[in-house]
A and B are shown apart, each in its own frame.
Chain A
Amino acid sequence: MLRISPAPHISSKVSTPKIMWNVVIALMPALIYAIHIFGERVILLTLLSILSAMGSEYIFQKLTKREILISDGSAVITGILLSFNISPNSPWWMPAVGSAFAVFVVKQIFGGIGYNIFNPALAGRAFLTASWPSLMAGNWAAPTSGTLSGLQSQALDGISQATPLTLLKVNPTESIAQSLNSTYMLKALFFGKVGGCIGETSALLLLIGASYLFIRKYADWKISLGYIGSVFVFSGILYYIGQTPVIPLFHILSGGVMLGGLFMATDMVTSPVTVKGRWVFGIAGGIICVLIRVWGGYPEGVSYSILIMNMFVPLLDKISEKAIFGR
């Protein structure tokens, strides 16, 4: 018996699980480094987060009698990204609750992989921020190893309790701004020697991971360049006209700009499919982030900026439809 099917008769080796597991690989440098600087607690939090994400997915798919797809890697990504978004000092149940919300409510109720409107990890983070604001905003740890020596004496004695961004929000004095703008500080941010969320620490390692995805075409660099680039340019304009005391380089290296711009905004499911749409998505997201940081009530604007842009994805795809060949 010959097999009959319509053309094409070959297909590429890229599959959904392959893309997802490669994203997991790309997150590894930052994760391993986080374990190194914050200690074994990071392992516990991240594992709980992943287990909760996969478990929630399993339970939902079992309850609704759907195919069990927990091995496709997407729940693992959500688990890792959610743990990347919390403080290494968080109580153990926090990543578990956050991931459960992310997968159960944000991803599965909307139809599972491919159908969710919001990035699950970011929405999970927003949920945690709204529910336990004090645990999410004021519970920072200084790295246990590789600490930038003398950072405390740099008028940054709040460093073990606050990230540079919090500091900037609550106490935007000249001297704070000066030390934040110092090469010393920028280097510390770039290499990952400043306290913060588990995964936000080293811009360098995030860039390495993301570059791997860009090269293998599992993430679109245009979104990342649009996002980080527009944070840089827009905050630069505001710095120039005196609306923010810190330089654009500080803005892109601090907080979640790298993590968000490289790994959250590029989430395929929740970003546009068209090239034009992707540029607009990234650039507008970056502007919103700076708006929140400079004039908003939060020290950090990355997660909300991306969540807001998630809502515009269908519209962006619509208005940026390509010109059909020959039309």
Chain B
Amino acid sequence: MSEHEISLIVNGRPRRGRVPARQTLVDFLRDELRLTGTHTGCEHGVCGACSVLLDGRAIRSCLMFAVQADGAQITTVEGLAPEPGGLSVLQDCFWETHALQCGFCTPGMLIAAHALLLKESAPSDEDIREAIGGNLCRCTGYKQIIDAVKLAAQRMSGLNRPEPSRG
């Protein structure tokens, strides 16, 4: 099995690795970099749990080899918050609207929704369904996820403010 040196930017930090040719990007992120927020649900590109941003686009890290990410900029769920220990507006809105239950698909959902909000500041319900249509959630029936994305879009446009209550 050939091995390859790669270097890439992950969540703003330069990272290097020596990877077997067959190692997927998600296995590299989880097992080598220990960024375990990205999950694997199907490993055949359907469920979307492994979604990460690659150069700003949401992609499935189970369908890409780590070696193909050489030179790329990757953002995982751990890189969404503006500061360590904090939450992005979108993450906070997921929490506020109860847009998750078991939390397993959540990182992929956040990535898909984050990518949508990067290009669309006022998405319609249909835009949101389209954006998360490739991410399977077994807990929520998607409703409170759609609520969260809408709320985040409004909040990022200054249309509302977070409620103070915390769990």
A binds B: no
Residues of B within 8 A of A (CB): none
Residues of A within 8 A of B (CB): none
